[in-house]
Amino acid sequence: MAADPSFVVGIIGNVISILVFASPIKTFRRIVRNRSTEDFRWLPYVTTLLSTSLWTFYGLLKPGGLLVVTVNGAGAALEAAYVTLYLIYAPRETKAKMVKLVLAVNVGFLAAVVVVTLAALHGGARLLTVGVLCAVLTIGMYAAPLGAMRTVVKTRSVEYMPFSLSFFLFLNGGVWSVYSVLVKDYFIGVPNAIGFVLGTAQLVLYMAYRKAAPARKDDDDEAASEEADEEEGLAHLMGQVEMAQRRVRLHKGLSLPKPTGAPLSSPRNGFGSSIIKSLSATPVELHSVMHQHGHGRFEPVKKHDDAEANE
């Protein structure tokens, strides 16, 4: 008897996805060898751990979701190992911030979703709620390469957007899109179709700039300045997540944490663009951590204090 086409496609998708999840192993070999996290970013690993954990939960709720469980369970295990290694070798200040976010997102938020889903929702509502959350997170993850693509255009260099990784992301989005059509699962299909389109765009961009002359130093300085702004926005985001976690309440429906404080789109610190990065953690973002850049800190000008000093 012929094998089920959806099962065959799902197995192929599992293999490609696990290869993508395993791509940061080289980075962590370097971290362990040097006993230092250097300037590598840690936020992508935390958010990818949340995404794979939620997809594993979705696969457990979904009838016939074995292939979803296997690939995301393996991804969650790898991401948990990355997070643990980073915590071991991170500086004390970074470690403190990272622990707070891990507890808020990977423990608190994930536990709230599981408890509310199992206790307050029934039947199709459970699958619908978790499926929407997973789809939103995956769309955010696939949106992460937009930052890398912008860097390629500005610097006229594909150094931090490896062809092999872009190609595997292209394949990953395409295979899981086909799988979603075969099993009629739009929660898997919509985000992966978007990923397929963005993966195609990355390959086109790679071919366009692979032999282009590098940008001038002034352009590089401008790109570094924008990266520093994004880092400042991510630091602000962590504070917002911590405050939002305290407001989580269990209702009959799912009540998600709502950020309070400054508006999401602040032209000063680029927080709106950082929201996308915070929800995104594709392997492109994981590999972009190889790019070392300055961590700018901004201090407000104390006009009143200066005036008093002059007096």
Digit-coded pLDDT (tens) for 206-259: 888 887 766 554 555 554 555 555 555 555 555 555 555 555 444 444 444 444
In a domain, 262, yes or no: no
The pLDDT score that the predictor gives to residue 170 is 87
In a domain, 296, yes or no: no
The amino acid sitting at 200 is T
In a domain, 305, yes or no: no
Higher per-residue pLDDT: 147 or 238: 147
Q: 172, 20 in Cβ contact below 8 A?
A: yes
Model's pTM, two decimal places? Answer: 0.64
The amino acid sitting at 7 is F
Q: What is the mean pLDDT of residues 257-266?
A: 45
Domain count within the chain: 1
In a domain, 251, yes or no: no
The pLDDT score that the predictor gives to residue 274 is 42
In a domain, 70, yes or no: yes
The pLDDT score that the predictor gives to residue 109 is 93
Which range scores top for mean pLDDT: 141-155, 183-197, 247-261? Answer: 183-197
Predicted confidence (pLDDT) at residue 168 exceeds the cutoff of 90: no
Cα distances from 33 to residues 29, 30, 36, 249, 287, in angstroms, run 6, 5, 8, 44, 18
**Residue-averaged pLDDT of the chain:** 75
Predicted confidence (pLDDT) at residue 276 exceeds the cutoff of 70: no
The pLDDT score that the predictor gives to residue 107 is 94
Q: 178, 172 in Cβ contact below 8 A?
A: no
Domain with 118, as residue range(s), is: 5-246+268-287
CB atoms under 10 Å from CB of 169, counted, come to 26
The pLDDT score that the predictor gives to residue 237 is 55
Digit-coded pLDDT (tens) for 44-82: 888 889 999 999 999 999 988 999 999 999 999 999 999
In a domain, 232, yes or no: yes
Q: For a pLDDT cut of 70, what percent of the chain falls above it?
A: 66
Higher per-residue pLDDT: 108 or 287: 108
- With vertex at residue 166, the alpha carbon angle to CA 168 and CA 138, rounded to the nearest 5 degrees, is 80
In a domain, 189, yes or no: yes
Predicted confidence (pLDDT) at residue 272 exceeds the cutoff of 50: no
Higher per-residue pLDDT: 202 or 237: 202
In a domain, 293, yes or no: no
Predicted confidence (pLDDT) at residue 139 exceeds the cutoff of 80: yes
Q: What is the mean pLDDT of residues 24-30?
A: 89
Short-list 55, 47, 11, CA closest to 279? 47
Q: 266, 235 in Cβ contact below 8 A?
A: no
CB atoms under 10 Å from CB of 205, counted, come to 19
Higher per-residue pLDDT: 164 or 13: 13
